[in-house]
Amino acid sequence: MKRGAYETWKSFVNTVSGPKTASNFQTTGQLTPEEFKEAGDHLVMKTSWKWASGDPNILNCLPADKKYLILKNIVCKERASALMADAPEGDGGDDWVLSHADHVPKAATQKVEVAEDEVEKADEDFNWSDDEDDGAAAAAQTANDEAEEKYRLYDVTLVYDQYYATPRVYLFGYNE
């Protein structure tokens, strides 16, 4: 009920006030629809972002073929919710909150050092002959590698919010 009333209020305010036309990004952080479009064009030109079209009756202050930006199939080893739950919050100043101030990636930072004599001993102990082909061991190793290499894919969408005059970020995650 509250959500519906809020959305109705936003729609009414957007209809009465119209889109923002004066640029004051440096002081308030708010964008005009034209600034959003220019920033989006820059993202599309320099990166893998793409413009997408939408309902022409929604956000009619933007061109029909440039309603929102989308970046698809971003690969991530960890779930986004796990990153948020594990990290302590810290104050970054300027009204920003650093949600990952002390975050250290789990597997990427561990280095294993092996003594040279251990490598030589392991090399001597290894049976280099091709006489024994253990297909079951190879299949088990392949299954282990595939299980460890499961990734999560994300789509990121940027939509202009006329009421707040800022972009909204939507994150959609799905399994590979």
Q: DSSP code of 100?
A: T
Q: Is the predicted pLDDT of residue 167 greater than 80, yes or no? A: yes
Whether residue 27 is predicted with pLDDT greater than 80 in this model: the reply is: yes
Residue-wise pLDDT for 109-132, tens only, equals: 444 455 555 555 555 555 555 555
> 140: left (phi > 0), else alpha (psi -120 to 50), else beta?
alpha
12: its two tokens:
């009414």
- For the stretch 64-114, pLDDT in tens is 899 999 999 988 887 777 766 665 565 555 555 555 556 565 554 444 455
Q: What is the DSSP string of 71-98?
A: EEEEEESS-HHHHHHHSPPEEEETTEEE
> Which residue type occupies 99?
S
pTM of the model: 0.58
